[in-house]
Each structure stands twice: as C-alpha cells, then as structure tokens.
Amino acid sequence: MQGHKRKRTQQSEIAHIGFQAIGALALLLIAVVSVRAAWNVYGKFVEASAGQQIAQAQLASLQSQEQTINADLTQLNSPGGLEAEVRARYGVVKPGEGEIQIVENQSVAPTTTPGQESIWVRFWHLVAW
C-alpha cells in the first residue's frame, strides 16, 4: 500500500502551505467581519432600548396630562364649575358680593415675661450674647 503514495515535491509542499495560510487568513477575515457586525447590531440595540425608555416616559407624561385635562373638563361641565373658573380667572363677582380682608392684631402680648424664664434659658442667653 505504501507504494501507491506519491511523495510530495518541495513545490507542491509550498503550494499546500500557501493554500492553508490563505484559508486561515480568509477564516480570520470572516471572523473579524462577523464580530464587527455583531458589535454594530449591539450598538443599535442599546440605542433602540434607550429610545424606547424615552418614548415610554413621554407616553406616561402625556397620559397624566390627558387625565388632568379630562378632570378639568369634567369640572367645567358641572353646574358650578364654569362659574368658579370664571370667578377665579377674571375676578368676577355677583352684584352685592364684596371682598373681606382679615387683618391680624399685631399687638399680641408675649406669653412669658422675662422673670418667668427658667434658669437654664437665662444662662443660655447670658452665654450666647
């Protein structure tokens, strides 16, 4: 059986090694291109995920605004709601209504007299000044 094998010549051996090197370089190139493509896809995924979170936050904000607007609309459609809004916004009053101003009395006597303070409070005032 060994007689059927041909011995490789030096040229065929060099050609065989060259083909192996070209194949290895081709596999390396394919691996680099694949890794780069996967990295780009990951970057796009992260960007899309961030965009989705921003969109969800905007949606929640808009839903909150919609609820506020619907509540205001319901209040305005009530019998006294429109009147209350006009009074608040434009300061409109009915004939005979007026404004009452409550003024607090500024001459209120102090609750404690200087002689009724405890010894510790007097000591503190003495040290603090």
Q: What is the pLDDT of residues 78-125, one digit of tens each?
A: 878 888 888 888 877 788 777 778 888 776 555 656 567 788 888 888
- pLDDT, one tens digit per residue, over 26-79 is 999 999 999 999 999 999 999 999 999 999 999 999 999 999 999 999 988 987
3-class SS shares of the chain: helix, strand, coil, % to 5: 75, 0, 25
The angle subtended at Cα 99 by Cα 98 and Cα 104, nearest 5°, is 145
pTM of the model: 0.44
Residue type at 56 in one-letter notation = Q
